[in-house]
Every structure is written in C-alpha cells, then in structure tokens.
Amino acid sequence: MSWKGLGDSKTPLYFLIIATIANIILVLLFVAVFKWGIAGAAYATLLANGIAFGLAIYWLNKTHKLIRISISRLHFDRDIFRQSIRIGLPTGIQQTLVAIGGMALLGIVNTFGTNVIAGYSVASRLDSLALVPAMSFSQALSTFVGQNIGANKMERIRAGLISTIKMAGIVTIVTTLFIVFWGHLVMSMFTKDPDVIKTGDQYLTIVSIFYFMFTLMFIYNGIMRGAGDTLLPMFFSIISLWLIRIPMAYFLSGEIGSQGIWWAIPVGWFAGLSLSFIYYKTGRWKTRSVVKYDENA
C-alpha cells in the first residue's frame, strides 16, 4: 500500500508475481516431493508470502527515502492509530458484510437445485474477474484523490474523475460486449452440461449489461475513500446489499424463478450508485481528508 500511495502500482505487482511463482514451486516441493498433503500447501503459501514480504521490505528501505521501516524507530502514535481505525474499520466491516451477503444470496440460489447452483458458481467467478478492472480503476482514483487533496489541488479531482470514467467506461463496454456475445462459449470451457451453461449464460447476460453501474458506483466510492471518508460508503453498501439486493432476490425468485436473483443484483448496484452519486454532489467528502493542507509547510 505504501507504493500505491506514492503512485507506484507496478512494484507491488512484481512482488505479487514473486509470491505466486514461489508458492507454485514450494507447493510442488512440499506436496509432490515431501508428501505433506494439505498442510504442505498451507506451509508453501505462508512461506511464499513471507519471502515476498521480506523482499518488499528490503526493497522499500533501499529505494524510498520517504518510507523506511526501522524496528528501532517504531513507536505507537495514538493520533495515527485513531485515524487508521476511523478509515479502516468501516471498510473492514463493509467487506465482512459483503461476504456474509454473498452467502445469503447463495442460500437463495441453493433452493433451485444443482444445475442453478453449478451455473451460478461458474458464472459468478467469471463475473468477479470481469469486475476487476472497475475495482482497479477505483483504487487508482483513490490514490489520485488523496494526493491532490493533500496538495490542495481540488480542481484536479474532477478532471481525474472524468478521465477515470472514460477509461473505465471503455473497458466496461468491451467486457460487456464480450460476455453478451461469447459468455456461453466461456461457460462451455468449464462444463459440458447444457442446463448449467444455459443458467450461467443467463446470469452473465442479465448482469453484464449493467456493469457500467457497478463501475460508476466503485469510481464514486473511490473518491470518498481517497478523501478518507469510508463510513458512508459502508452504509451505502449495507443499504444496497442487505436492504435492496437480498430482499429483492428473495421476492423476485419467488415470482419469476432464478432469473429474479440475477435481476436483483443490478437493482442493488443502482441503489448503491444513486447514493454514492448524491453524496459526491454534496461535496461533504472534501472535508474528511486525513491531512490538512498547510500552505506554510
């Protein structure tokens, strides 16, 4: 996260690649050679992440003067701790509730039998992959917003927002078109059951045409997080998921079958986008910055 805060998103990728390659090698060694089974796979993941972490700390200390980690200089700072809790806790709660919401949604899906469960399981994983670009653009915008608020260059935030919407919009349109026209072919790579493919393709077609709403929702939430305002995005997520999507999925699935669950997903996105956009227009997020600009600094 230190590198991302400095605008460097490539270096974390390199260390992630190192961790992945090390994990693969160690899994083969511990499982195939030493015969340690599942425990060997767990040890391999732990050790690979530890190696990447150690290398990252070494490289960070060697290349960045602004951020250097020294055990002898570490000390507890109450103000930083409070700020970390204020910013991080709502995001942690949000992610927890989203995960629980996913299980609740799966519980509704489970009532429709094995074919629907299988189709949803495959399609939702492809869906998660398709939404990665939107989340990545949102993270990049968060960094951009935080930097410009700290530098008191508020006028650049709107320009960054517009540029992000354009870039993310192009990627979203391409992704949507690909899934709409070739989603069934992608599904057939994972299963040959025609009923499972039909269910998964139905899910992807309904959900993908509303990807633009998910993209915009994440972009506007990215602005708030960049400004250090994470509490309201948490409430927006709770409202869109627990008060809109899940109740709608339960109701619509009883009226029109499993398709009702798929239609409830974009309904929840629309609610989340509406709340985020309205709050963005109020401008109150501009007052939530962690570091106040000091023109004499």
pLDDT tens column, 32-71: 898 899 999 999 999 999 999 999 888 888 877 666 777 7
Among 84-88, 143-147, 272-276, the range with the most confident prediction by mean pLDDT is 272-276
Q: Give pLDDT, residue 46.
A: 95
Q: Give pLDDT, residue 291.
A: 61
**How much of the chain exceeds pLDDT 70, in percent?**
93
Q: Output b/e per residue, 151-164; b: 16+ Cβ within 10 A.
A: eeeeeebeebbeeb
Both tokens of residue 188?
A: 């057939």
Residue 72 in this model has a pLDDT that exceeds 80:
no
Q: Give pLDDT, residue 3.
A: 59
Residue 141 in this model has a pLDDT that exceeds 70:
yes
| 290 vs 24: which has the higher pLDDT | 24
Q: Give pLDDT, residue 261.
A: 96
Average pLDDT over residues 218-227: 92
Do 158 and 233 touch, CB atoms closer than 8 A? no
> In which residue are the tokens 């078109």 written?
177
- Residue 101's pLDDT band (cuts 50, 70, 90): very high
Average pLDDT over residues 162-175: 95
pTM of the model: 0.82
Question: Out of 56-65, 167-176, 184-193, which region has the weakest mean confidence (pLDDT)?
Answer: 56-65
Write out pLDDT tens, residues 237-262.
999 999 999 999 999 999 999 999 99
**How much of the chain exceeds pLDDT 90, in percent?**
60
Compute the half-sphere exposure of residue 162: CA atoms within 13 Å on the CB side of its CA.
4
Number of neighbours of residue 196 by Cβ within 10 angstroms: 23
Q: Give pLDDT, residue 41.
A: 92
Nearest-angstrom CA–CA distance, 69 and 155:
34
Nearest-angstrom CA–CA distance, 272 and 236:
6
Cα-Cα-Cα-Cα torsion 177, 182, 187, 190, nearest 10 degrees, comes to -120
Q: Give pLDDT, residue 242.
A: 94
Q: Give pLDDT, residue 66.
A: 66
Nearest-angstrom CA–CA distance, 262 and 258:
7
